Chain A
Amino acid sequence: MERKIRVLVAKPGLDGHDRGAKVVARAMRDEGMEVIYTGLRQTPEQIVQAAVQEDVDVIALSILSGAHRHLFPRVMELLAARGADDVLVVAGGVIPEDDIPFLKEKGIAAVFGPGTPTKVTIDFIKAKLEGR
């Protein structure tokens, strides 16, 4: 049987807007992925715990609060501590261009800004997971 791609869509930090995250989740569902949606205001600890228990292939982080420079590296650290750093991590939301090199250095595979067609994100994930 073909294995389903499992994705955790997570909203770290304190902003209360998850419309974008829900749209992406829905688009992933329509591409045959199993999407675990955990809701707003998740701590990095909660996100990593969920990612481990749900055995996801991908974590998609959505953030609008500006705290990504603090929260994303923390997620990566915790993943590594749990031996789960093979999970693909992508990000979306409002993230200044200047911060992207820093986030990539920390292990975020890609950053998709506002207006990115969902297909771009989904194709990126599929290509990255190909041959795993």
Chain B
Amino acid sequence: MAAILAVDDSASIRQMVSFTLRSAGHEVIEAVDGEDAVEKLRDHAVDVVLTDQNMPRMDGLTLVRTLRAREDCRHLPILILTTESSDAMKEMGREAGATGWLVKPFDPERLINVIDTVMSR
């Protein structure tokens, strides 16, 4: 049972992720972009961050960097969602300090597996 922060500017994707993870017994907090995510972290305890890349105001990579610069988020698992397993994107994710990546489209099962794997490390 984990608290997951799902960051994506698309409401349909947020809802899909929330629904899936809640069905697996997790708690999900939603944020519409990087800035909103940082806000939500102020009020919620979070175990894993799942973030899209392309969002207005603050994109995924910037969010990762922002969080990693904080003492309390240095080891927080952060996963980046990408639409292609573009290697350059993965490189940038790694450089920014992300914990891992997940390619869109993903099916709900895979999402649950990923979260389970990350939580069990």
A binds B: no
Interface of B with A (CB < 8 Å)?
none
Interface of A with B (CB < 8 Å)?
none
